[in-house]
Amino acid sequence: MNLSQSIPGQIPLLQLSAVTKSFGSVSALKGVSFDLQPGEIHALIGGNGAGKSTLIKIVAGAHSPDSGSIKIHGHRVTQLTPSAARNLGIACIYQQPSLFPDLTVAENIALRLEKIRLFARVHWTNRRLKAVQLLKLIGADISPDTEVRDLSMPQQQLVEIACALGSKARIILMDEPTASLTHKEQERLFALVRTLRNDGVGIIYISHRLEEIFAIADRVTVLRDGESTGTTPVTETNPSALIKRMVGREVSTLFPPAESQLGPMVLSLRGLGCTAGGVKNITLDLRAGEIVGLTGLVGAGRTELARVLFGITPADTGEISLNGQWVVITSPQDAIALGIAYLPEDRRRQGVILEMPLSHNITLASHQRLFPRNWLRHTTEQTLAEKFIEDLAVKTSGAVALGNSLSGGNQQKVSLARWLATKPKLLILDEPTQGIDIGAKNEIHKIIRRLAKEGLAVLMISSDLPEVLGMSDRIAVLRGGTLAAILPRQCTAHQVMSASLGLKEEGVGA
């Protein structure tokens, strides 16, 4: 049943009324009201810092509201904790998985689902069998005996989904659940979501991919600057109307125009390869002021190439030239010293340190340059952090704020600031706008364009085809760990996909 409108007399699974929440001087929620009906997929969207994550953390019991009321199954809840939320049938799938890396998949699932009893015996066979059943249900080809640290980000996301399904929750919160999934995995997830809806489960679905909203949601609520701009049946709106409500204005263009002039050669790769990374025979040039988009299908070797260039998995064949000099990069320290910066894909594990102040985060990679005698000067650190916070328009209460107080888009800006503080010549960006909203994407795109205009060479890895086409001066397509094609700015999406799939097409070639 499609519940695009609330049914009179039906008790909502969840009802928030005039909820507010502030962090210091920053108001995250300003009197937001929201409801979720049984058997409904209710999409929640909004711009960078709109309050989406804060709202679902309140529902999950991670944050307490400053004012307002929460009703679950028609009963008012005054002290909602994570434990109480689970007992009330609420499960949350966060964008960044919160699993224990040193435990197996089966152990992680058991920790979420099994009740803790003193001196209780662990039934290892039953625990493993339960994990196998849940993983099979979602179509995940993952061994229950694998340690989580050995899983990819998409695999960790699938384990989180298995935990939520196993809890038999009646309210499921999904925060960007498809951000790291392949198309096939996304389709499986959508099928599961629809089955859950048919069983009467209510789902709050957060996504920046509007096509997903129109594919599976019944209603959509838009947040902007901590306030709700209204709730609408999906069948009664369209992408343009939602974007206007998110940003408060018409979006005339998604990508800023290219303004940079190409300068001297910064990076030259000749037959570069790395057996450990599955990268082979890469020949590519990148000039100052140029943005080269690096794309390809899942497993094509994009991130693996970035790790080779940054010295995480050093090259074992071929040559690397930086600024006209042939170099050997055996570690990230070598890369930083040579003027290479790498913004990784995983913000939580490899980007912002959430428990650290922004000032520490921003200067973390520049200590050797800023403090050559190993004497930390807090005034220097604070001044530099404040400069980047202003320069990149980071929405925060100040340089002393913790990383976990920021929205995803602002965390990405802080990660970027850390590497810009090293004064690089080559900036490698791995999925720089993944999981952030349209407004924040536009801000990041403008920053990238500005950096290129200032003479920085940018290698931008992205799975977002419109982003690759809209931002790149040239496009390098990888397939099977090697370069399949180098395409000009004027190429089409069809040409990029043809090269990614290994199809021959006129005008496409390395």
CA–CA distance, 166 with 127 (Å, rounded to integer): 12
**Res 503: pLDDT:** 64
Averaged pLDDT for residues 426-430: 95
Please report the DSSP string for 276-333 in residue order: TTTEEEEEEEEETT-EEEEE-STTSSHHHHHHHHTTSS--SEEEEEETTEEE---SHH
**Res 254: pLDDT:** 64
**What phi-psi label fits residue 149: left (phi over 0), alpha (psi between -120 and 50 degrees) or beta?**
alpha
Q: Is the pLDDT of residue 90 over 90?
A: yes
Kindly provide the residue ranges of all beta strands, DSSP E only, lying in 66-215, ordered along the sequence. 67-72, 75-77, 90-93, 171-175, 202-206
CA–CA distance, 390 with 323 (Å, rounded to integer): 30
Q: Is the pLDDT of residue 348 over 90?
A: no
Amino acid at position 108, single letter:
N
Averaged pLDDT for residues 232-257: 75
Amino acid at position 406, single letter:
L
What is the reported pTM? 0.56
**Res 49: pLDDT:** 67
| pLDDT: which is higher, 16 or 493 | 16
| pLDDT: which is higher, 240 or 230 | 230
Averaged pLDDT for residues 322-343: 94
Measured in degrees and rounded to the nearest 5, phi and psi for residue 296 equal 150, 170
Of 160-164, 212-216, 331-335, where does mean pLDDT reach its minimum?
Answer: 160-164
Of 49-58, 80-89, 180-189, where does mean pLDDT reach its minimum?
Answer: 180-189
Q: Is the pLDDT of residue 1 over 50?
A: no
- Report which DSSP code applies to 254: S
- Report which DSSP code applies to 26: E
Closest CA to 169 of 143, 144, 210, 203: 203
Contact 479, 500 (CB under 8 A): yes
**Res 4: pLDDT:** 38
**Res 2: pLDDT:** 40
Q: Is the pLDDT of residue 354 over 50?
A: yes
Averaged pLDDT for residues 41-51: 83
Averaged pLDDT for residues 394-412: 84
Average pLDDT, the chain: 85
Q: Is the pLDDT of residue 299 over 50?
A: yes
- The helix (run of H) or strand (run of E) holding residue 347 is helix 347-350
Give tens-digit pLDDT for 496-505.
Answer: 878 887 766 5
Measured in degrees and rounded to the nearest 5, phi and psi for residue 213 equal -60, -45
Tokens at 352, concatenated: 């912002």
Of 47-61, 85-99, 114-128, 136-150, where does mean pLDDT reach its minimum?
Answer: 114-128
Averaged pLDDT for residues 223-238: 92
Averaged pLDDT for residues 9-31: 88
Q: Please determine whether the domains at 14-89+170-247 and 265-500 fall in the same fold group of CATH.
A: yes
Q: Is the pLDDT of residue 507 over 70?
A: no
pLDDT cut 90: percent of the chain above it: 44
Q: Is the pLDDT of residue 408 over 50?
A: yes
**Res 378: pLDDT:** 76
> So what's the architecture of 265-500 in CATH?
3-Layer(aba) Sandwich (3.40)
Q: Are strands 67-72 and 219-224 parallel, antiparallel or unpaired?
A: unpaired
CA–CA distance, 497 with 269 (Å, rounded to integer): 24
292: β partners: 459, 474
Q: List the domain boundaries for the chain.
A: 14-89+170-247, 101-168, 265-500
Q: Is the pLDDT of residue 6 over 60?
A: no
**Res 208: pLDDT:** 74
Contact 342, 306 (CB under 8 A): yes
CA–CA distance, 350 with 354 (Å, rounded to integer): 11
| pLDDT: which is higher, 346 or 147 | 147
**Fold type of domain 14-89+170-247:** Rossmann fold (3.40.50)
**Res 29: pLDDT:** 94
Q: Is the pLDDT of residue 190 over 50?
A: yes
**Res 3: pLDDT:** 41
**What phi-psi label fits residue 242: left (phi over 0), alpha (psi between -120 and 50 degrees) or beta?**
alpha
Residue with tokens 């070598």: 334
Give tens-digit pLDDT for 459-495.
Answer: 999 987 788 888 999 999 998 899 999 999 888 878 8
* Strand ranges of the sheet holding 171-175, from the earlier edge strand across to the other edge: 90-93, 171-175, 202-206, 41-46, 219-224, 227-233
Averaged pLDDT for residues 221-247: 87
**Res 465: pLDDT:** 79
Q: Is the pLDDT of residue 195 over 90?
A: no
Question: Among 157-166, 271-280, 493-502, which range has the highest average pLDDT?
Answer: 271-280
| pLDDT: which is higher, 271 or 408 | 271
Averaged pLDDT for residues 398-413: 84
Q: What is the CA radius of gyration of the chain?
A: 24
